[in-house]
Structure 1
Amino acid sequence: MPDDTAKPERKRQARGEKRIEELLDAAAEVFAERGYKAAGTNEIARRAGASPGTLYQFFQNKEAIAEALMARYVVRLRAAHGEAFDPAVAELPLEEMLDRIIDPVVAFDRANPGFYALLADPALSPELASAKKPAQKLMFQRLDQILERRAPDLPAEQRTRTAEVAVHLFRGLLPLIMTATEAELPVLVAETKEVLFSYLSPRIDLEATPQHNRRTLTPEEAARKAAHIAMRSNVTTDDVLTAIHEARAEHVRAVENVLDRDHPREDRR
């Protein structure tokens, strides 16, 4: 005989899953608007059209919400990166390769400001900081794989360093991209690609002829250009430097010297 209790149980489960998604959607909005620290569970519940009691049926606290949200983002990010970092892009001309990689990544970040708010927040608890590590590593891992395919003769250590610096240059400029108006966005994305082209070209296209008379840049020159772009907006060069600081030490020291010379620290506020 059919189990008469199965259908009601499935309905309750479906309602619960729907409510969780609504709470996570609301949390993403609140985190994007207020930042993680200032966001409150009562506001998240209200935004989702639920009571605080309902929220606590599913999540113990705000940190649990953020952990679940980050896990959901990682799943979506893998799908977005699957498009952006298709192995076939390694065979394209560098400019086209950067278009194919950067455009979907920027589109994902712009469509998910709550993800960026969590990823960029330096004041998260150790547990939550650990939860965002898979997302932080994903872009580097995918780019490293693309570079290995594109430049198979490049020593592994050099390839890894190149991928690290390229990712951190991109992250250093990401605050501008996230806050840009629709009118500003194409220009900032184009300049970001130019920074990355100038940095990557001599390292992974060693036999290629530079296109459009572009001069290739050293890591510190690429960082200087990123800093100059940042100076045009409300994003400080310290934001750029903080992102680049995660790259290897020999690049960081050169970057700091350039920024200190071109933009004294009192001018970076």
Structure 2
Amino acid sequence: MASSNSSPAIRKPQRQRGVARVESLLEAAGEVFAERGYDAATMTEIAARAGASIGSLYQFFPTKELVAEALVARYVSALHADLRRMAGLARSMDDRTLGAKLLRTVYEFRRKNPGFVTLGEATNLPDSIVLGLRNTLRELITDILVAFAPDIAREKLRPQSFVLLQLMKSFAALSAEPGIKGRKDVLAALEDTFVLALGHLDA
């Protein structure tokens, strides 16, 4: 993450108008990153998409990296709320119900926030941002697994979060891949694999 001693820092808005402007800028950034990729996206494009001046963007985010950092924090906060609610209900679900709900919650989030996918796969961002995002997701998934299988130690469940996250990414990729024949059956088969993984947590 950026250091306030050596690097520019994000300026937090003090008034409601500023808060709304930052939200608009981040919304625009997510769209531009999704369309252009992180490397190709420019601050000028982000400002234009938000209908703001480039000076207004730099006022809050002096660098593109800081825009990405703030956007990742925004995504994590939103997904955290969704997955924490699921963790609260996980114990009352069976394998099939939890598997389907978890798969589709993350899939829908990725679909509605394509910038989330772009930043999660970016190669020209600091590890603190990209790996921080992945590790946060893994810990949130682990929280759900702990709630679902409270008799199993967290350390034993954590590796499963890596596997489940990869299956979620595969589900999203297969859902979007053009030209797949029998897509519904393919996705159903992947969901079965996901549910099977949940059912063998203590293996």
Same fold (TM over 0.5): yes
The answer to whether the aligner puts 1:55 opposite 2:57 as a matched pair is yes
Distance change (3 Å), C-alpha of 1:101 and 1:173: closer
**Counterpart for residue 81 of structure 2:** 79
1:31 to 30, 33, 46: 33
User: How far apart are the structure 1 equivalents of 2:22 and 2:147?
Assistant: 40
1:171 to 169, 172, 177: 169
For residue 81 of structure 1, report the CA deviation from its aligned partner.
1.4
How many residue pairs are counted as aligned between the two chains?
189
**Counterpart for residue 46 of structure 1:** 48
Q: In the TM superposition, what whole-angstrom CA distance separates every residue of 1:196-238 from its partner, at most 9, and x where no partner exists?
A: 123332334x7xxxxxxxxxxxxxxxxxxxxxxxxxxxxxxxx
1:20 to 18, 22, 28: 22
**Counterpart for residue 95 of structure 1:** 96
For residue 66 of structure 1, report the CA deviation from its aligned partner.
0.9
**Given residue 25 of structure 1, which amino acid in structure 2 is its aligned partner?**
E
Structure showing greater radius of gyration is 1
**Counterpart for residue 9 of structure 2:** none
Distance change (3 Å), C-alpha of 1:187 and 1:64: farther
**Counterpart for residue 224 of structure 1:** none
Q: What secondary structure does 2:201 align onto?
A: helix
Aligned-residue CA RMSD (Å): 2.8
Structure 1, 154-163 or 189-198: larger mean CA deviation: 154-163
Q: In the TM superposition, what whole-angstrom CA distance separates every residue of 1:9-67 from its partner, at most 9, and x where no partner exists?
A: xxx83332222211111111100111101111111111111222222222112111111
**Counterpart for residue 107 of structure 2:** 106
User: How far apart are the structure 2 equivalents of 1:151 and 1:48?
Assistant: 45
**Counterpart for residue 259 of structure 1:** none
User: How far apart are the structure 1 equivalents of 2:178 and 2:94?
Assistant: 28
**Residues 97-246 of structure 1 mapped to structure 2, 5 A cutoff:** 97-121=98-122, 123-126=123-126, 129-154=127-152, 156-178=154-176, 189-204=187-202
For residue 110 of structure 1, report the CA deviation from its aligned partner.
0.7
For residue 185 of structure 1, report the CA deviation from its aligned partner.
7.4
Structure 1, 105-114 or 134-143: larger mean CA deviation: 134-143
User: How far apart are the structure 1 equivalents of 2:34 and 2:22?
Assistant: 18
User: How far apart are the structure 2 equivalents of 1:54 and 1:149?
Assistant: 44
User: How far apart are the structure 2 equivalents of 1:148 and 1:21?
Assistant: 34
TM-score where L is the length of structure 2: 0.78
Confirm or deny: 8 A CA contact 1:24 1:65 kept in the other structure: yes
User: How far apart are the structure 2 equivalents of 1:112 and 1:106?
Assistant: 10
Confirm or deny: 8 A CA contact 1:109 1:115 kept in the other structure: yes
Q: Percent identity?
A: 35
User: How far apart are the structure 2 equivalents of 1:137 and 1:70?
Assistant: 12
Task: For structure 2, list consecutive stretches of 5 or more residues without a partner in the other structure.
Answer: 1-13
Distance change (3 Å), C-alpha of 1:124 and 1:90: farther
For residue 107 of structure 1, report the CA deviation from its aligned partner.
1.2
Higher relative contact order (CA 8 A, sep 6+): 2
Distance change (3 Å), C-alpha of 1:202 and 1:38: same
User: How far apart are the structure 2 equivalents of 1:145 and 1:185?
Assistant: 31
